[in-house]
Chain A
Amino acid sequence: MTKKRGMKKRKEFFFILAVLLAGILFLVLSPVNAEESSSYFCAERTTNGLWCMNVPWDEVNTNYDYTQTSCEATSFCKAGTCVNGIEGSCRPNVPEVVCNDAGGIWDERERDEISQCQLGCCYIGSGASFVTQTKCSSQSSRYSVETVFDPSIKDSDKCIASAYPEEEGACVFDDGFVRNCKRLTSAKCDTEKAGAAEGTTVEFHKGTLCTAAHLETKCIPTERTKLESERDEVFFVDSCENTANIYDASKIDPVVQDYWDYMIDKSNSCVLSSDLRNADVCGNCNYLEGSIGKRYDRGNSQMFSKAPNYGDYICADLGCEYEGEHYEHGESWCGTTSTGKDFLPGSQQFRFICDYGEIRKEEMDPFRGTICVESEVEGFRTANPRANLWRDCVSQDNQEDCEDVQERDCVWINGTGASILRDEDGNPLVINSDGKLVPIDELEYGDPGVELGPFGERIRDTIEAACVPKYPSALWFWEPNETKEDLSSENAKNAMDTCSFGNDICIVEFVKGKFFGTWDCSDNCYCLGLEDDAGKHFSERNMENEWVVNNLEVCVALGDCGISENYLEKEGRWTWEDLVEVTELKEEDFENEK
């Protein structure tokens, strides 16, 4: 609740101006110099070698084109799609001059609107990728394999799911003496056949392993295992070094099993438990579920405590331990540098990611332009950065709009001295019966603080309020060699601009007693702590009064403003004495100051 902050004019009065510099130091911060702000140019090239940037004059490379308009309005730096006619790539948001210099074809349309940039499914060997037709052709030479393009598939996931692995089998070579065997695709076996020595027959047995008894090759089962490139699992290997089926200790005996005769799908192989408890006997690792085949290393925390029954490889856990919590591979969570309260000056949020058994740390925006948000779907935890929507908080004039989580990240606070928004005369807005902030003059009977007196309506205890950021932004206030007495850098000025929304002025009025000549406080006394909410008067000033404290609360909520400890719990730059200034005004100065 606040008191009415009216200003009476009586000749015989002196005034004391209590100024709360809730921002940093200055009552009014000088706006950005008009000439400086208008000195932006579109530079075809900047002095530090970048192309097509809107920069101040001192960053323009005058050996190239430049103009005092935005790059989007120029012919040379307009951004569009850059098409590579040979490789078939279509790159978005490329300035025309950059595209032309690189030998591309520039088009001002979006990628989706350009026929050459339409995507389809490109089958490359046993895999697939979702690319343009030209890109598909170019990948044929890059990967040295035939490609097939299917423009009818318009979805990346469908494309990848539709990839058909080339079927493998036993390619048996018989030179009349020995029957040798290699595990190959049909196409590769045909190639071998074409190049085979005279007298050597080559046959392909689809889906059959080289160790199949009926093939009668020299290759026999072993107790060894191996890892395959781009595969997650541990595989058996035969005596000819061919990859056999997924390692399953129960299938080691070829006499009683046909596990060494035919290729068995991953889905029909042994089932690896989610806690890898049977990793010693089953090599059916799954990267997406958090395990991958690795050489067994006793003592490695990723490895099951028991060595594999056969071979040197085992499914290793890709999960992570963090502060006593187990995270699966791919899970992520938020963290901060702050030891206690979040969003203190200097604190920064992080996203931790459990990646391949290691914890990777990604910093959120250092100025809290983004914040880290955690979520969980079916027990899988993720943390993601999202924009911190704090910027229009201070302009909200009611609690509903202020705390609309779809639109912004703000909170509504009220109390004496809390208002940020002002009327035309600089007086704080107050809450009406609709919960909206309005000028005090617009209050009507029935609004909070308006009551009916013996001579009509009178205003006594209005409510001030403000909408402030839920996650205060960080400000760049730590320029090297800068002291609080000298804050001349652009960054410091910007910081003060933001904090200046919290500046407040309270004019306290004193009246000279007629009999004893003493000065008694008569209006806005609470700003100096000379009056409390109940109307009780005090003779001593108290600068830690409700009005000052609330102002500072608003101030700190705006960002790295006001009086605050930093994230290391160290005292900040400013003290009460720095931020609260009390100035005595003579009667004749009052009109001007007002």
Chain B
Amino acid sequence: MKDDKERGRNYYSISNKKAQVTIFIIIAIVIVGAALLFYFLIPKAETEAVFDETNPQAYIQTCIEDKIKDTVEILSLQGGSIESEGYILYQGDKIEYLCYTSEYYVPCKIQRPFLVEHIESEIENEIEDDMKMCFDALVDFYERRNYDANLEGSGDTTVELLAKRIKTSTDYTLTVSKGSGTDRYERFSVLVNNNLYELASIANDIIDWEAEYGDFDTTYYTTVYSNIKFEKHNQQEGSTIYILTNRDQGTKFQFASRSVAWPPGYGEVPIFD
């Protein structure tokens, strides 16, 4: 009996061990499988998560929002342009001169008279292709769900810098139909919270002063705009870097100016024949 018991105990012990190993293997396979599924499916799921057949506007917002934010961040650090022309290199950023003179003693000449409009145009150009891709993807989503999706319009993108936000609109009209039902979506617009309009407007004020009188004093504006930090860095060759920072959002707008610069010593006055 004892032997049988012993044998039986061993048998159970061995079979328990085998069962445990099998369970562990199954669990491992499940975990690996889940991980693979997670890896391959989640990105798609994330993209699809915001796709609501009844709300294509939300999809477009999610699709293009990051591109707009990235574009705004780049041009905000470069004086309002994506590809800076007439710039000064400052801590790795190509900061465009919004007002410049190559001479000494004289006020600068404004290089970007319509800064807000220029920034709007820069964002439009930069996101246009991405916007089209977002709409193509949107149509694709509908078609994969057996809708007939039709996109009308030229795809022209309009960007408006507004108070505390940036509004991007397109002239696309989307018509989706399934069975007898047809839905029409127009006036797609994307809103991004950003105070670039305010910062660019202040930059214009500073530049107006520099173009008329020269050196701008930041202390008055410091007392007027409690939510903006004004930094001013004079450079060796007479340029000034301005950095405007929104204290709440941390967003920045940087630009450069060279106005009423002082030469070392007596300097040289340009002579024309």
Contact = CB atoms under 8 A, between A and B. Distances in A.
B8 interface: no
What 4 A-B pairs have minimum CB-CB distances, sorted nearest first? A369-B262, A49-B85, A498-B265, A93-B211
Given A53-B101, A230-B227, A498 B110 contact: no
Contacts of A369: 261-263
Contacts, number: 177
B270 interface: yes
A483 to B, nearest CB: 19
Interface stretch (B27-35, B44-52, B148-156, B213-221): B213-221
Given A38-B271, A92-B212, A474 B264 contact: yes
Given A53-B102, A55-B102, A68-B273, A92 B229 contact: no
A356 B233 CA distance: 18
Interface in B50-106: 85-87, 97, 99-103
Interface string A473-505: 111100000000000000100110110000000
23 contacts: A38-B273, A50-B85, A54-B102, A68-B273, A82-B113, A92-B208, A93-B110, A98-B109, A102-B112, A102-B117, A104-B114, A230-B227, A353-B219, A355-B229, A356-B229, A360-B231, A362-B233, A370-B215, A382-B219, A384-B217, A494-B264, A494-B265, A495-B264
A388 B268 CA distance: 18
A98 B265 contact: no
Interface string A3-21: 0000000000000000000
Given A102-B117, A353-B219, A498-B266, A52 B109 contact: yes
Nearest to A368: B262
Interface in A22-38: 32, 37-38
B111 interface: yes
Given A365-B262, A495-B265, 14 more contacts: A51-B86, A51-B111, A82-B113, A91-B114, A93-B211, A99-B113, A144-B163, A288-B223, A330-B222, A355-B222, A369-B262, A475-B264, A497-B266, A498-B266
Given A32-B268, A356-B229, A475-B264, A48 B86 contact: yes
Contact of B108 (A70, A93, A102, A497): A93
Given A51-B111, A82-B110, A363-B233, A142 B263 contact: no
Nearest to B263: A367
B109 A494 contact: no
A104 B113 contact: yes
B268 A94 contact: no
A332 B219 contact: yes
B162 A142 contact: yes
A444 interface: no
A353 B219 CA distance: 8
Interface in B226-273: 226-227, 229-236, 238, 247, 261-268, 270-273
A310 interface: no
Nearest to B88: A48
Nearest to A100: B113
Contacts of B234: 362-366
B212 A93 contact: yes
A48 B234 CA distance: 20
Contacts of A89: 113-114, 204
Given A46-B102, A50-B100, A92-B211, A232 B226 contact: yes
A132 to B, nearest CB: 13
Contact of A37 (B97, B232, B238, B268): B268
A46 B100 CA distance: 12
B190 interface: no
A59 B103 CA distance: 13
Contacts of B227: 230
Given A367-B264, A473-B265, A95 B109 contact: yes
Nearest to A363: B234
A494 B270 contact: no
Chain B interface residue bracket vs A: 35 or more
A143 interface: yes
Nearest to A95: B109
Nearest to A56: B270
Contacts of A53: 100-102, 109
Given A93-B211, A362-B234, A50 B113 contact: no
A58 to B, nearest CB: 12
A367 B273 contact: no
A463 B243 CA distance: 54
A87 B100 CA distance: 23
Contacts of A93: 99, 107-110, 211-212
A91 B100 contact: no
Contact of B103 (A41, A54, A497): A54
Interface string A81-110: 010100101011111001100111000000
B197 interface: yes
B110 A475 contact: no
A87 B117 contact: yes
B161 interface: yes
A473 B264 contact: yes
Contacts of B229: 355-356, 360
Contacts of A193: none
Contacts of A103: 114, 117
B226 A98 contact: no
B113 A362 contact: no
Contacts of B207: 91
A354 to B, nearest CB: 9
A79 interface: yes
Contact of A98 (B111, B116, B160, B270): B111
Contacts of B226: 232, 287, 292, 356
A565 B103 CA distance: 31
Interface in A341-394: 353, 355-356, 360, 362-370, 382, 384-385, 387-388, 391
B250 to A, nearest CB: 14
B118 interface: yes
Nearest to A358: B229
A353 B86 CA distance: 30
Contact of B114 (A84, A360, A365, A491): A84
A69 interface: yes
A538 B113 CA distance: 72
B44 to A, nearest CB: 37
B86 A362 contact: no
Contact of A40 (B219, B236, B238, B272): B272
Given A144-B163, A365-B262, A498-B266, A94 B271 contact: no
A219 B70 CA distance: 42
Given A94-B109, A142-B163, A494 B102 contact: no
A98 B273 CA distance: 25
